[in-house]
Amino acid sequence: MLKRIATAAILIPIVVAVVYWGPSWLVAILAAIVGLLAMFEFFKLTAQMGLRAFRVWTMICTVGLFFVQWTSGTADIHVFGSNALLIQGLPSVYASIEVVFLAFLFGAALIGVLSKVALADVLPGICASAAALVFIALPFSYVARMDRARSGPVFVLFVLVIVWAGDTVAYFVGKSIGRAKMAPALSPKKTWEGAAGNVLGSLVVGYCFARWQNGDLTAWMATAALANIAGQVGDLVESAYKRGAGVKDSGAMLPGHGGMLDRIDSLIFAAPVVWLAAGWLLQSHP
C-alpha cells in the first residue's frame, strides 16, 4: 500500500499538469507511449497462452492510430438548422481510423502468408494482434483525440479523475463493508459493495466537474456513472487476460500498481464513453 500511495503521489500531479497545461501533441505522444507499453505487456500475456502476435506491425499501426486520432480532434462541427452542417478542420480522408485498420488488415495478412511464420501460428498471431488493436489501442487512443478537441483537457481530466476517485472509494468501501463477491473467478477481492462505492465516487466527480464547468448537472453525473461502469468492465476484462495467462499482474513497471496495463485497464474502456458524451456535454457551456 505504501508503494502504491507513493507511486500515485508522484505520478498524479505530473499527469494532471501535462494534461491541463501541456500541448496536445505532447499528450498524444505520451498517451501513445503508455498505450504501447500496455500492448507490450498484453503481448506477453498472449504469448503465455500460446498466441504469438505480430508485435512490430501492430505497434506501428498503433502509432498511426494515435496520430489520426490526434489529427481528428481538430474537427469542429457546427449545426445550422435541421439539414445544414459546417465541418471545419476535418483531416484528410487518408488520415482516418479506417485507413489504419485497412493497413493493419493487409499488413497482417501479408505477414501471415509471406513470412516464415509457422502456419499453425498465423491465425493465433492475427487474433492476438487484432485483439490488442481493438481492445487496447483503439479505445485508449480517444485520449489523444479528446485532448485536442475543444475543451479537451477538461474532459481528459474528467475521465482520469473518474477512474482515480472510483478506484479509491471502491477500495475503502470494499475493505470495510464488502461481502458479496462480484466476480470471484476473475478478481476474488472485488465486491458488489465496492463496485457501488466506485460508482458513487464517480458521481461525486461528475457533480464537482459540473459545478466547475457550469454545465448541466444531470449530463455530467450520468456520463460519469456510465464511464465508471465501462471502466469497471475494463478492469474485469483485464483480470480475465491475466487469469487466462496464469499471472497476478501484467507487469511490474509501477511499484504497488503492477504493470502499465494494470494501471490503465479502466481508463481504456472509460475514455471512449466520455468522448461520445463530450459533444452533448459541450453543448451545456460555451
Separation of alpha carbons 58 and 39, rounded Å: 9
**Side chain identity at 124, as an amino acid letter?**
P
* Mean pLDDT for back-to-back runs of 10 residues, the chain (286 residues): 75 91 94 96 94 95 96 61 47 75 96 89 94 96 88 91 94 90 88 95 96 91 95 94 89 78 94 87 53
Q: How many CA atoms lie within 13 A of 22 on its CB side?
A: 19
Q: Which three cell numbers stand for residue 285?
A: 457551456
Long-range contact set of residues 175-180: C-beta below 8 Å, sequence gap at least 24: none
Q: Give, in order, the Cα–Cα distances in Å from 162 to each of 18, 38, 114, 167, 256.
A: 18, 20, 46, 8, 20
Mutual angle of helices 138-148 and 24-48, in 10-degree steps:
170
Name beta bridge partners: 259.
none
In 3-state terms, what secondary structure has residue 74?
coil
Give the pLDDT confidence score for residue 10 in this predicted structure. 85
Residue boundaries of the structural domains of the chain:
2-282
Residue-level pLDDT at 11: 86
Q: Residue 126 to residues 40, 62, 84, 116, 119: CA-CA distances in angstroms? A: 15, 15, 42, 14, 11
Q: Which pTM value belongs to this model? A: 0.88
Q: Quote the CA–CA distance of 163 and 249 in Å, as a whole number.
A: 19
pLDDT attached to residue 1: 64
d(CA 210, CA 92): 34
b/e code 16-53 from CB counts within 10 Å (16+ = b): bebbeeeebeebbbbbbebbbbbbbbbbbbbeeeebbb
CB 61: neighbour CB atoms within 10 A? 21
